A and B are shown apart, each in its own frame.
Chain A
Amino acid sequence: MISSPTIKNSFDVYAIREQFPVLRREVKDKQLVYFDNAATTQKPQLVIDALVNYYTGYNANIHRGIHTLAEEATAAYEATRDAVQKYINAAGREQIIFTKGTTEGINLVAQTWGRQNIKAGDEVIVSAMEHHSNIVPWYILCAEKSAVLKVIPINENGELQLDEFEKLLTGKTKIVAVNHVSNALGTVNPVKTIISKAHRAGAVVLVDGAQSAVHLDIDVQDLDCDFFSFSSHKLYGPTGVGVLYGKKDLLESMPPYQGGGEMIKDVYFDHITWNDLPYKFEAGTPNIADTIAFKAALDFTNSLGKENIRRHENELLAYATNLLEQIPGLRIIGKAKEKVSVISFVIENIHPQDMGILLDNRGIAVRTGHHCAQPLMNCYSIPGTTRASFALYNTKEEIDLLITGINKAIKMLS
């Protein structure tokens, strides 16, 4: 097994950067500054190696073959399940279901648990700061079942209004689906409180952890959430892999999502028995390579220490917030007390797209637009923002380049 080199106790960001090959490249003749980490993070060499090692060393289909390669591939694939179980502190490994990503996990719950449990007149609660992926699956379900979709409002700072949330909870509320961290604002939502309130009202809770799993310590048992969905690629792992965690009794009572190989025990033309968890929800040949490499990403993150990573990212957040606030006409969107290293902003009379193009022209990658959260942008009456999101490999020098780039763009545009 590959072990993480050098960095163990001290957080040396420059040594860490060495492990991310893409950070060496230039864009428009300038050193790349990658601040679009909330969209996807870059991958360390260990993850890339894990992918290459699989394809060069032991590529085989898993779970069925009795030959050596199949055994090795199966062991590596299942080792990721164990690593994920530990990473989110799930009680059992069978509660870890591999998906394509956060979106698929949410759709899986909406289409299985949702179709089984939601009836006409029932209520589903989401929040005003959800990503489209945690709105649309529920919208589709509610439309099909004639159920009601309700929305937790936010305050000026971009925080959920918990008193309003309590008013929305009724005996008809069946599920509450909220994000742990907002992708557009960086707000950390008090999901533990939301979960306990929802449970008291008899509702189950799905947490969209797409943005939180990389920054926060996740303990699904402590949160007591019923479902937790997140993605590998926002956590330094490959694209195309995600995890849906669910409480065991719920997962067992749910019908399968997709039919195919792997998810069955016995198939006859007149009856079929489903496989046990987690395989009941993993039809067909899964994304073996990327799932195996996901473990390398988790090992990498664990070796650095989430606490160390958070300290570094919070420093970057404070440093950038302070400098951005000094730019005349710039307004930060989302000033929650608890935030991760994501900053969204608008500048008077400047369209975010123009800002994004001019920053790219200086090699700086930010995200502009509505961040797949149109209802949230409507709350603020803005078409979109410019968003800079920081990861463990970013530096203060890069933030200085961002500030220079913004100032230069403002000069060009006004």
Chain B
Amino acid sequence: MNEKKSIGEIEDEIVEEFSLFDSWDDKYEYIIDLGKKLPKLEDQFKKDENKVKGCQSTVWLVADYRDGSVYYKAESDAVIVKGLISMLIRVLSGQSADDIVNARLEFIREIGMMTHLAQTRSNGLLSMVKQMKNYALAYKLKHTG
């Protein structure tokens, strides 16, 4: 494996990828494609305690801590949310708990997907970002404390 990329580097990559699209349709087609390719979460993880419930779509999220890094797996019942999850996992999974807690995730705004975070009631994405950070924080405290 190559040297691990930082959160910021991966965010820059995504922003650059999105700069190639000139229409919203193309952006959404790409996100939908990512959503369809997101590996299914094993049924054993799809239980209430792993649910990040939004008003409309449901997200299941699990985290794992290995060698100082936090790894995430997640799924949703809505495809566009799955696409956004896929990007969040690409950016955050495998990073250190510290970096995850401090990540500002500006790329979401830069690729024009901020509305999906702002609509707190309509989907679980914002809650998911919070939950990802909570897991990182919990692991960090457990590890250092």
Interface residues, chain A, with chain B CB atoms under 8 Å away: 28, 351-354, 356-358, 361, 368-370, 383-384, 412-413
From residue B52, how far is it (CB to closest CB) to chain A in Å?
Answer: 14
Most chain B CB within 10 A, of A352, A353, A357, A384, is at A353
Contact of A351 among B28, B29, B55, B78 (CB under 8 A): B78
**Cross-chain contact B57 with A353 (CB below 8 angstroms):** yes
Contact of A354 among B24, B55, B78 (CB under 8 A): B78
Q: Would A357 and B28 be within 8 Å (CB), given that A369-B122, A413-B79 are in contact?
A: yes
B42 on the A face (CB < 8 A):
no
Q: Would A413 and B32 be within 8 Å (CB), given that A353-B57, A353-B122 are in contact?
A: yes
From residue B18, how far is it (CB to closest CB) to chain A in Å?
Answer: 15
1/0 contact string of B82-116 vs chain A (CB within 8 Å):
00000000000000000000000000000000001
**Cross-chain contact B25 with A354 (CB below 8 angstroms):** no
**Cross-chain contact B78 with A361 (CB below 8 angstroms):** no
**Cross-chain contact B55 with A361 (CB below 8 angstroms):** no
Query: Which residue from chain A places its CB closest to the CB of B79 in the assembled complex?
Result: A354
**Cross-chain contact A353 with B24 (CB below 8 angstroms):** no
28 residue pairs from A and B, CB less than 8 Å apart: A351-B77, A351-B78, A351-B79, A353-B56, A353-B80, A353-B81, A353-B122, A353-B123, A354-B32, A354-B78, A354-B79, A354-B80, A357-B28, A357-B80, A357-B116, A358-B28, A358-B80, A361-B24, A361-B25, A368-B56, A369-B122, A370-B55, A383-B58, A384-B56, A412-B29, A412-B32, A413-B32, A413-B79
Chain A hits for B25, CB < 8 A = 361, 412
Query: Which residue from chain A places its CB closest to the CB of B124 in the assembled complex?
Result: A353
**What is the CA–CA distance of A352 and B58 in the complex, to the nearest angstrom?**
12
**What is the CA–CA distance of A385 and B138 in the complex, to the nearest angstrom?**
37
**What is the CA–CA distance of A353 and B122 in the complex, to the nearest angstrom?**
8
From residue B77, how far is it (CB to closest CB) to chain A in Å?
Answer: 6
**Number of residue pairs spanning A and B whose beta carbons lie under 8 angstroms apart:** 43
From residue B65, how far is it (CB to closest CB) to chain A in Å?
Answer: 31
Chain B hits for A369, CB < 8 A = 55-56, 122
From residue B89, how far is it (CB to closest CB) to chain A in Å?
Answer: 19
1/0 contact string of B32-54 vs chain A (CB within 8 Å):
10000000000000000000000
From residue B73, how far is it (CB to closest CB) to chain A in Å?
Answer: 20
**What is the CA–CA distance of A361 and B29 in the complex, to the nearest angstrom?**
12
Q: Would A352 and B32 be within 8 Å (CB), given that A28-B24, A361-B25 are in contact?
A: no
Chain B hits for A351, CB < 8 A = 57, 77-79
Chain A hits for B122, CB < 8 A = 353, 368-369
Query: Which residue from chain A places its CB closest to the CB of B54 in the assembled complex?
Result: A353
Most chain B CB within 10 A, of A28, A351, A352, A354, is at A354
From residue A384, how far is it (CB to closest CB) to chain B in Å?
Answer: 6
**What is the CA–CA distance of A358 and B116 in the complex, to the nearest angstrom?**
12
Query: Which residue from chain B places its CB closest to the CB of A349 in the assembled complex?
Result: B79
**What is the CA–CA distance of A356 and B55 in the complex, to the nearest angstrom?**
14
